[in-house]
A and B are shown apart, each in its own frame.
Chain A
Amino acid sequence: MHDHDDSQSEPAVPAKLADALRQISRQPIDTRELDTRVLACADRLGSPSSFPIRLSMGRLVGLGGALAAGLALAMVFWPQLSQPRSASLAQSSIANDFDRDGRVTVLDAYLVARGVRDGTVDPAWDADASGTVNLSDADAIAQLAVLLEPADSAPTSERLDSAGAG
């Protein structure tokens, strides 16, 4: 409910009050970090498909981590995509399709996670090439499964069917 009162004239704010209000309202805030965060996205406006990323402080760090993880994943998975597979992976036509259902999904990650929990891991599940199979491998596969394809590529269902295919 609004308190309408269209009839009254515009109240005048005394000059001293206005000055005092301005004084207490103009506390400087360091905006350098904001500048970086906002302007880092601004160059997207000049591209045909421009969608700014919402970067909160936490996400900025998270996104950096995700990009690093993405690079690491790409480095890890690239040999599997481009070269003959190991004996274990050869059982499936798709790399990281550990449950051999024809696509890479969270179920592959879950297979690895349960194997880690139960102590029944397959060396081939070392998705991040760390030398051991642990929950990081499960997380890496889950992260791979949720990657969005570029807007003009195949729908998710098709991409999942072919994710990691050599």
Chain B
Amino acid sequence: MDLRPDTQTDAQLIELAQSRSPDATEAFEKLYRRHRDWVVRAARRLTPDDQAALDAAHDAFLGLMRRLSVPPPLKLRSRLTTYLYPAVRHAAARAAKKRTLPRDLPVAGPSADHEPAASGSLRAALDRLPPAQREVLVLHTVEGLTLEEVALAMQTPVGTAKSRLHKALQRLRADESLRELFEP
């Protein structure tokens, strides 16, 4: 079996990972390495600290692994991230419940010292957004999901995702401190 890197689609790797062949492990590892950072970032936005994010990411990947290890075979109909994201959300919700977190979790993770000043305003503005709007905005803008994929990942209608993105942008646009980010 050819397992050269970056030559196989997620769907092919999923199929291989379910094959119970010696290549299954390697296929899963490729999937993991391909999507790890995305999942960790997504988890970090939904959890209060890095450790909780790693735990949520861990749960998401083990959920996938378990899903791949039991019938019926998983057929990938969309990007794998849209499959992983609900698992991350569940895991993050569990973590939030355990740690009795505030309802609105910070979206952008820890701040970095080298960030430009505008980033602080943006971070604060993001935190003020309703979580669902923030999620759509980040998944679409930062993670590069189409609105259809965002809708799938968040298990909502596409129109809802679109509406949430629209409202999120409206709110940010109304923030004077973010004016420069909306200039052409």
Contacts and interface: CB of A to CB of B under 8 A. Distances in A.
Given A17-B182, A25-B138, A42-B25, A4 B122 contact: no
A45 interface: yes
A24 interface: yes
Contact of B159 (A4, A45, A52): A4
A35 interface: yes
Interface in B131-174: 137-138, 140-142, 147, 156-160, 162-167, 169, 172
Contacts of B137: 13, 21
A43 B182 CA distance: 49
Interface string A42-78: 1111111011111111000000000000000000000
Nearest to A4: B159
Contacts of B167: 3
Interface in A1-34: 2-8, 10-11, 13-14, 16-18, 20-27, 29-31, 33-34
A41 interface: yes
Given A24-B108, A47-B20, 19 more contacts: A2-B156, A3-B163, A4-B163, A8-B162, A11-B166, A16-B180, A17-B122, A20-B116, A24-B109, A24-B123, A25-B109, A25-B142, A29-B44, A29-B53, A30-B50, A45-B18, A45-B27, A45-B28, A55-B58
7 contacts: A2-B159, A4-B163, A16-B180, A39-B29, A45-B24, A46-B23, A53-B62
Interface of B: 17-18, 20-25, 27-29, 32, 36-37, 40-41, 44-45, 50-51, 53-55, 57-59, 61-62, 65-66, 68-70, 107-112, 115-116, 118-119, 122-123, 126, 137-138, 140-142, 147, 156-160, 162-167, 169, 172, 178, 180-184
